[in-house]
Amino acid sequence: MNILLTNDDGIYAPGLRALRHELLKLGSVTVVAPATEQSAAGHSVTLLNPLLVSEVFETDGTTFIGWAVEGRPADCVKLALLELLPSPPDVIVSGMNAGSNAGINVLYSGTVAAAIEGAFYRRTAIAVSLEYDKKITDFPTAARYAREVIEQILAHKPTEGSLFNINIPVLELGPIRGVKVMPQNVSVYTEQFDRRVNPRGRTYFWASPEFLCPDPHPDTDVTALSESYITVTPLQFDLTDHAKLAELRNWEWKLGK
């Protein structure tokens, strides 16, 4: 099995390294990942700048890992599929992200966007993220869980273009209680900005690190994660609100009144 591995934390991030180590048990792994951290990059892509690419090797200097791209996570997937890989991968894995990507964070996430980009090209694509409380966490243990879940997804031979979002709960909270298949929570997070004035008198704002989801729906990814379940969410990328199409079609649209 040929696996394309990408992420949004950058090719040198410990989460990617830990996940690569586990995925090598399942097949051949080629990494095409951003050269630098791209957290909260969303589904941004690079249209106006050149995408510089470098080959990356293990510390032995000879074992080829893949390519670092000076671009966004979605750029990495496009370049991998259209230019860098000799043949299309069987599966695209994005992660393991340092920080969960659940609820509406799914839309801010470069990790998930890379997986969605893969699904655009009809590949099976899986995003993997690890929630954490403190800076240092046990990426290798989380990567083992992630690999187990990925193995089970692939064992079911998902149809082409299938897209999955896996979140691993905070390991330090206690033992993992199992796997729950959950929809994305849709409520907004509570955010704050810190307003300051710079020495030249200009106002600026810092986004606060507090990013709380008050009252998540009980049957969602956010809630199950907080209860120490690994969550799996099947995703799709049609943003149409199909339930509203018929209603809007009944409106009498006029132009040039």
Q: In the complex, what is the shortest distance from the CB of residue 12 to a second copy, in angstroms, rounded to a whole number? A: 17
Residue 127, strand partner residues: 94, 165
| Residue choice 25, 28, 36, 236 for contact with a second copy (CB under 8 A) | 236
237 binds a second copy (CB under 8 A): yes
36 binds a second copy (CB under 8 A): no
| Residue choice 32, 43, 154, 223 for contact with a second copy (CB under 8 A) | 43
| Residue choice 62, 87, 134, 156 for contact with a second copy (CB under 8 A) | 156
The answer to whether the beta carbons of residues 112 and 120 sit under 8 Å apart is no
> Could you give phi then psi for residue 255, rounded to 5 degrees?
-125, 155
Q: In the complex, what is the shortest distance from the CB of residue 1 to a second copy, in angstroms, rounded to a whole number? A: 18
Residue 168, strand partner residues: 130
198 binds a second copy (CB under 8 A): yes
User: How far is 202 from 103, CA to CA, in rounded Å?
Assistant: 34
142 binds a second copy (CB under 8 A): no
171 binds a second copy (CB under 8 A): no
* 61: helix, strand or coil: coil
| Residue choice 35, 91, 116, 130 for contact with a second copy (CB under 8 A) | 116
User: How far is 113 from 22, CA to CA, in rounded Å?
Assistant: 22
The dihedral of CA 129, 134, 136, 140: what is its sign? negative
> Could you give phi then psi for residue 149, rounded to 5 degrees?
-70, -40
Question: What residues between 86 and 115 interact with a second copy by CB under 8 A?
Answer: 104, 106-108, 110, 112-113
82 binds a second copy (CB under 8 A): yes
* Phi-psi category of residue 20: left, alpha or beta, with phi > 0 → left and psi -120 to 50 → alpha: alpha
Both structure tokens of 227: 């209860």
Q: In the complex, what is the shortest distance from the CB of residue 150 to a second copy, in angstroms, rounded to a whole number? A: 12
28 binds a second copy (CB under 8 A): no
- Residues written for the chain: 257
| Residue choice 44, 141, 226, 228 for contact with a second copy (CB under 8 A) | 44
242 binds a second copy (CB under 8 A): yes
| Residue choice 24, 152, 172, 212 for contact with a second copy (CB under 8 A) | 152
> Could you give phi then psi for residue 63, rounded to 5 degrees?
-80, 115
232 binds a second copy (CB under 8 A): yes
User: How far is 231 from 224, CA to CA, in rounded Å?
Assistant: 7
160 binds a second copy (CB under 8 A): no
26 binds a second copy (CB under 8 A): no
User: How far is 42 from 110, CA to CA, in rounded Å?
Assistant: 4
Question: What residues between 45 and 64 interact with a second copy by CB under 8 A?
Answer: 45-48, 50-54
> Could you give phi then psi for residue 181, rounded to 5 degrees?
-85, 120
Element (H, E) at 148: helix 139-155
257 binds a second copy (CB under 8 A): yes
Q: In the complex, what is the shortest distance from the CB of residue 22 to a second copy, in angstroms, rounded to a whole number? A: 13
